Amino acid sequence: MTKSKSDNVVWHHATVTRERREKLNGHRSVILWFTGLSGAGKSSLAHAVEEHLYQSGCRTFVFDGDNVRHGLCADLGFSPEDRVENIRRVGEMAKLFLEAGVIALTAFISPFGADRARVRSLVPHGEFLEIFCDCPLEVCEERDVKGLYKRARAGEIKDFTGISSPYEIPRDPELVVHTGALSLEESVTEVIKFLRGRGVIG
């Protein structure tokens, strides 16, 4: 937990607890942390999983990498320092949604293992579920509808993950989805099967 700069801030314990919210919702709350290269299918998979969960009556919310940079993290760039702060903020927000009884899905490149580990440390064991969207770089480049890889290779974008900035592959993720080979529907099926196996949903 990040220490507050003020000595006058005291945590208030609510009477409506996370356990009561989970009971009302009919499912556990967890953080599903989708990580992988740009173009690996993180956002598509996270939103498709959310749609499936929503249709099943689950309380969900997707934190999308691009979307949070329009508001919560609009003041941040893509330097290593800003990337660290970006993930720190998202991690703290996801933790709040966990307490709200919501299944929080995040879709971020989150290239540094230390940053992902830091978010994991914010919550009890088993409540941060790292899902590695494993997709070869060449496939990600083929899918590059925004032309970002092309611009990065031309030197127009600095600190671009996979080209001029490293991506640290998760060492022991809870789930690996081979998004370079599987269809979106097949990938969703793998995630849902995983969540059932973990007892997150029935």
Residue 18 has pLDDT above 90, yes or no: no
- Taking alpha carbons only, the member of 184, 191, 170 closest to residue 60 is 191
The residue extents of the domains of the chain are 18-197
Report pLDDT for 12.
61
Catalytic residues: 110
Q: Which CATH superfamily is domain 18-197 in?
A: P-loop containing nucleotide triphosphate hydrolases (3.40.50.300)
Element (H, E) at 32: strand 31-35
pLDDT confidence tier of residue 9, bands split at 50, 70 and 90? low
Report pLDDT for 140.
95
Burial class of residue 40, CB neighbours in 10 A (0-12, 13-18, 19+): buried
- Taking alpha carbons only, the member of 25, 56, 21, 32 closest to residue 116 is 32
| DSSP 8-state secondary structure symbol assigned to residue 200 | S
Specify which residues 128 forms β-bridges with.
Answer: 31
Angstrom distances, CA of residue 56 to CA of 36, 59, 158: 27, 9, 42
Which tens digit of pLDDT belongs to each residue from 115-152?
Answer: 999 999 999 999 999 999 999 999 999 998 789 999 99
pTM (two decimals): 0.88
**Rounded to an integer, what distance in angstroms lies between the CA atom of residue 35 and that of residue 60?**
18
Which tens digit of pLDDT belongs to each residue from 48-78?
Answer: 999 999 999 999 999 987 777 888 888 888 8
**Rounded to an integer, what distance in angstroms lies between the CA atom of residue 40 and that of residue 178?**
9
The answer to whether the beta carbons of residues 179 and 135 sit under 8 Å apart is yes
